[in-house]
Structure 1
Amino acid sequence: MGVSGLSQCAPRTGRPLTQQAISTILLNQKFTREALEAQVQQSDYPIVHLATHGQFGSSAEDTFVVAWDQTINAYQLNDLLRRSEQARQQPIELLVLSACQTAAGDQRAALGLAGMSVQAGARSTLASLWQIDDESSAALISHFYQHLAEKGHTKAQALRQAQLDLISHPDFRHPAHWSAFVLVGNWL
């Protein structure tokens, strides 16, 4: 679920690489807070993937991910996740926040949206610490899902292997390309 192009933000060109194996896609104008909440509550998908733009701010109102017609700030995402936890049979096993600064935090909100998401009921969250390059983050996420699908790989092992895959690629060796994402919560 996410936004690939907004007039005020640069288009996320790497997005199609991560959409291939996703069951339900809310893209662009279909990605609203209401549609996200409905999908998360009505389905028992173990993984929820948000590929959009994000920002960490000095307050919960200024920390957000971008939906098509509005932002979803930290409070709103927290409420959405808490309500969905009550409506679902199973908790969200993995919430992927593929947007800039979704794990950035400060003294009041350690690990930003990622930490808050785990507190709100997601068992684990994969999120970024800083501004991310679209092409390399799409490659990392694609490799992460490939390794996660392999028998016996935990989420932590899948992330590590995806990072090693990028390190071995000449265009992505610099840590800016492979080290932005962290896994918060249950690593298994």
Structure 2
Amino acid sequence: MTGMLTAPRHVLSAAPASRRAVVSGVVAGPLFLAAGLAQGFARDGFDFTRNAISQLALGEAGWIQTASFVLTGTLLIAGATALRRTLRGGPGGTWGPALVGVFAVSFWIAGAFPADAGAGFPAGAPEEAVMSGHGAVHMFGGMVGYLALCAAFVVLARPLAARGLRGWAVASRVVPVVVLAGFTASAASVLAFTAGAGLGLLWLSAVTARLADR
């Protein structure tokens, strides 16, 4: 009798935790971008046409962006866990969440290894950035993370199609091309890089919400 009375409590307690994980994955990208935009407009010398959001981790107020990296990585890990539960036993159920997990870890790496100063930010920094060890790790971690995210979108197109969401499945295969195009154009325009990175974050939020809703 005791076992019968306690079992439902476990079932009820599991549902809110799963929902929190979904919400974490959905808000991660928009929250990161909102924090970056707010700081970019508030910090002296920062120019979105010349500086990357990662550089906000430099200077006296840099701890805010570092905290944003760490928090976003944590939220994305929760989102990857939610995807794993949602897709378990189905198409993309293994590699989709795993690749999102790699993307999440890249934010922790970005927080631990800051980008290099350059393009006049922080104030007094030279125009030309000099690649340092921590800057190289930052760049490599971000590259691996976004490649993993693009691969995750392709993998997640399968469960989207399996659920009859054909338009979403097609878009999930097109978005990686746009993200990578933005990164390729970053040599000519930092805004292209920021737009590509932002699109990847927002599309991950949308896909996480859509798959969890089914």
Q: TM-score, normalised by structure 2?
A: 0.28
More helix by share: 2
Greater per-residue strand proportion: 1
Please, what TM-score do these two structures have when normalized by structure 1? 0.30
Instruction: Give the greater-gyration-radius structure (CA).
Output: 2
Query: Taking CA–CA contacts closer than 8 Å with sequence separation of 6 or more, which of the two structures ends up with the larger relative contact order?
Result: 2
